Structure 1
Amino acid sequence: MPLVVEDVMRLLCSIAEERKMQAAVKHSGKGALVTGAVAFLGGLVGGPPGLAVGGAVGGLLGAWMTSGQFQPIPQILMQLPPSEQQKLFNEVTAIVRHLEWTDVVQLTMLVMGSEALKQQLVAMLVNYVTKELRAEVQYGD
């Protein structure tokens, strides 16, 4: 049975939900900029001790600004533009092409029942998120 993009997105969402996958775009440049700016200001105001205090405060502020920005991967997948969803569709189709199914429910059951298939799809999804979206993947709550 031919697959449609929406069905593949739902399948990937099911797998990502089961693994509680989240992703965050890395903002390390922003954190480094804040750290450097606060350290510079501390150095201007307080000399060498101000530089040390500014660096410490700036580092904490930069870390705080860039933390906690994880989004559930299913949410990210459903917000992807059609061209990106098509890329994922093509990759999933290559992985599941050898399976025989009659509808998307049966395909989902086949995939969810096979740890090897789930692992392949998770690896493909992690690769896509880290390379194409330049995001960090996290599992669990």
Structure 2
Amino acid sequence: MPVRINDVMALLCHISEQQQMKVAIKQSSKGALMVGAAAFLGGLLGGPPGIAIGGAVGGLFGAWMTSGQFKPLPQIIMEMPMVQQQKLCDQVFAILRSLAWTDATQLILLVTGNAALQQKVTAALINYVTQELRAEIQYGD
């Protein structure tokens, strides 16, 4: 059976939407940089207590900077270039190799009906997002 990338992408979008996964690709590093810079500046100005105060202020500012910068993972998946989608599809298809499906709906039902299989697919998706896209994943609202 030929691999149908659209079916696998629909499955990944469904799983990530179901788990309310959101992704921040570049913004999370800016927030971390802000915390470090504020702690350093606080240490220069106020010594050890300044490090704590600077870290706290930097953390609040970093959180404010990155708030709202998370995008839903299904949106990220569908916006990826075809080369990245194919690479992700290949990794997930290695897990789905033994399944036979006729369309995306059937594939989604097969995977979501099997907790162990869904967990493996989810783990492959998370691994791809964190390793290949170097992104941070957030769950829920």
Query: How high is the TM-score relative to the length of structure 2?
Result: 0.78
Residue 121 of structure 2 corresponds to residue 118 of structure 1: no
Query: How high is the TM-score relative to the length of structure 1?
Result: 0.78
Distance in 1 (alpha carbons) for counterparts of 2:133 and 2:58: 27
Contact 2:92-2:125 at 8 Å conserved across structures: no
Using the aligned pairs only, state the percent identity: 51
* Equivalence map 1:10-89=2 (5 Å): 10-25=10-25, 26-27=28-29, 28-32=31-35, 35=38, 39=42, 43=45, 48=46, 52=50, 55=54, 57-89=57-89
- Kindly tell me the number of residue pairs found equivalent between the two proteins: 135
Distance in 2 (alpha carbons) for counterparts of 1:102 and 1:59: 49
SS in 1 for 2:102: coil
Structure 1 residue 61, shift from structure 2 partner: 2.3
Contact 1:36-1:58 at 8 Å conserved across structures: yes
SS in 1 for 2:65: helix
Deviations 1:70-95 (A, max 9, x none): 11110010011111001111011111
Structure 1 stretch displaced more, 112-121 or 99-108: 99-108
Structure 1 residue 128, shift from structure 2 partner: 0.8
Amino acid at match of 2:82: P
Structure 1 stretch displaced more, 57-66 or 114-123: 57-66
Deviations 1:4-59 (A, max 9, x none): 2222111100111111111122224542465268659x94xxxx59x94x836445
Change (3 A) 1:66 1:103: closer
Q: Give 5+ residue unaligned stretches, structure 1.
A: none
Distance in 2 (alpha carbons) for counterparts of 1:20 and 1:103: 23
Distance in 1 (alpha carbons) for counterparts of 2:67 and 2:41: 18
Deviations 1:109-136 (A, max 9, x none): 1112111111011100111111111111
Contact 2:22-2:137 at 8 Å conserved across structures: yes
